[in-house]
Amino acid sequence: MPEGDTVFRTARTLHRALAGAQVTAFETRLPQLLSLPVRRGLPGREITSVEARGKHILIAFGQDLSLRTHLRMHGSWHLARPGERWRRPRAHMRIVITTADWLAIGFQIPEAEWLTASSLARHVVLQALGPDPLSPSFDAHEATARIASDSAATIADVLLNQRVIAGLGNVFKSEVLFECRVSPFDRVRDLEPETVAALVSSSARALRKNVSERPDGAGGRRTMTNRLNREETLWVYRRAGKPCHRCGSTIQMRKTGPDARSTYWCPSCQPSRTT
């Protein structure tokens, strides 16, 4: 599933291409978006903004109508010029928003809905999202408090909870825990408040670093280590059986949580605090 940095970069790219442009055509294969009044009224509307909220993308058509999409595991948004060859098969198309200069094509998007201004304001999922490190209004203290409130859970599971911190996924979970030398299997109640605060700070720093538009052209390649070698950009994620960059011990992997997500860690650098 794309993580917050990928979703943010996608929304930023869509915004730069589409904001201020008028819709000339709209096509979809998603039944929930087939409302005739909406489809017939969409051409001629101006796209005012595209923004990310955690792992959700909101495309605003004026002040009273937005399209919310969630990419889940396989969804993506691509841009193409009119007449240009698409980068994925047409059979994978779920949404096409056409303007004079661009086609915004949503491929294999499983979750999408129209939202009015009032339904957006009371949207159960969006309103329950935790603080988003990529938002200008990010509240680190609130994120820390939300982690602390789930004291019986393992810290790896808590970091994936979008109601705690929006945008973190499996990659950043493992990488941030490694950077802070915290075992993924420690219970929140076993962590010092300073450690929880450090995890929040590291999470925010990691997400922001990976959406920066770097002059070296590496902004689209996720990195945590600052190493130039493309094979060494992450500390532990997908490195099971390989030596730790920090101490040389063998990186481990275990399926954890209700969704059996892969967790990677170094047993030497991340000793458990649980007694």
> Which residue(s) pair with 199 in the sheet?
none
Catalytic residue among 51, 55, 173, 175: 55
Long-range (24+ apart) CB contacts under 8 A made by 139-146 are 140/197, 140/200, 140/201, 140/204, 143/200, 143/203, 144/193, 144/196, 144/197, 144/200
Tell me whether residue 271 is in a domain.
no
CATH number at residue 161: 1.10.8.50
Question: Which of these three, 66, 99, 128, is where a domain ends?
Answer: 128
Catalytic status, residue 46 = no
Catalytic status, residue 3 = yes
Catalytic status, residue 55 = yes
Count of structural domains within the chain: 2
- Tell me, yes or no, whether 217 and 259 share the same domain: yes
- Tell me, yes or no, whether 245 and 165 share the same domain: yes
The mean predicted confidence, pLDDT, of the chain is 92
Query: Is 90 exceeded by the pLDDT of residue 81?
Result: yes
> Please, which pLDDT band fits residue 217 given cuts at 50, 70 and 90?
very low
> Please, which pLDDT band fits residue 29 given cuts at 50, 70 and 90?
very high
Tell me whether residue 188 is in a domain.
yes
The domain in which residue 58 lies consists of 4-128
Question: What confidence tens digit (pLDDT) does each residue in 159-191 have?
Answer: 999 999 999 999 999 999 999 999 999 999 999
Tell me whether residue 275 is in a domain.
no
Query: Is 60 exceeded by the pLDDT of residue 114?
Result: yes
- What pLDDT sits at residue 228? 62
Question: What confidence tens digit (pLDDT) does each residue in 33-78 have?
Answer: 998 777 778 999 999 999 999 999 999 998 899 999 999 989 999 9
- What pLDDT sits at residue 214? 59
Tell me whether residue 90 is in a domain.
yes
- Percentage of the chain modeled with pLDDT above 70: 94
Question: Would you state the structure tokens that stand for residue 111, as one six-digit string?
Answer: 């979750």
- Find where tokens 């589409």 sit: 18
* Residue 219 to residue 215: CA distance in whole angstroms: 8
Question: Which of these three, 61, 94, 128, is where a domain ends?
Answer: 128
Question: Which of these three, 78, 101, 128, is where a domain ends?
Answer: 128
Q: Which stretches does DSSP call E strand in the chain?
A: 25-28, 47-53, 56-61, 65-70, 76-80, 93-98, 103-107, 111-116, 252-256, 261-265
